Amino acid sequence: MVPSGETAQFWEDLYRSRAQVFSGEPNGVLVTEAEGLPPGQALDVGCGEGADARWLAARGWQVTALDISRTALQRAAAAHAGIAWVCSDLAASPLPARAFDLVSVQYFPLRKDDRVLRKLLDAVAPGGTFLFAGHDPRDLSEEHADYCQPDDIAQALGEEWTVLVNESRPRVMPAPPGTAHTRDTVLRALRTS
């Protein structure tokens, strides 16, 4: 799967602009919410330089890590083998249905009107978990109003889902340099059938 368009170029430019974009540590929401889950097949959406994928793999998960940036994936793959690193534009690429025990979407720019959300939800296996973390809208400008928050996702879930967590909470790790993000929004949902 090959990414396309301006989105791919934006992320390529970002990763090429510096030697390391993110901290190298797994996202705090992932650690908090997935620590007790039994390992299985995991999909790490927008994996960047791979910290979340490596954390999951170290706990026994079989990880497919997706990103639109080849540069990010090259860095991630150099640091850890045994993870399926996939360059993909989710808007243009299919995902296998009901294939993953965990679909982790950490700070991924997911638009409200996008079909990508449905693809991601459909990729969760029965008994599996959908985990979403985003920035609290109070920390964002109005230009981010078109992006999903947990309530938007909860409304898209059908009867086969149980929402376990839907909240805003203080960040457990410092915000990236140059940002003012103090709170995370979190949704964790279980697909019951």
Question: Per-residue pLDDT tens for 154-163?
Answer: 999 999 999 9
What residue ranges do the domains of the chain occupy? Answer: 5-12+38-191
What would the pLDDT profile of 165-185 be if each residue is shown by its tens digit? 999 998 877 666 666 678 899
Give me the phi and psi of 176, to 5 degrees please: -55, 145
CB 5 within 8 A of CB 64: no
What CATH number is given for 5-12+38-191 in this structure?
3.40.50.150
pLDDT digits (tens, 9 = 90+) for 53-63: 999 999 999 99
CA dist., res. 44 & res. 39, Å (int): 13
pLDDT in tens, 107-120: 888 888 778 999 99
The pLDDT of residue 81: 66
Q: What is the pLDDT of residue 14?
A: 64
In this predicted structure, what is the pLDDT of residue 179? 64
Mention every residue, 6+ apart, whose C-beta is less than 8 A from residue 159.
none
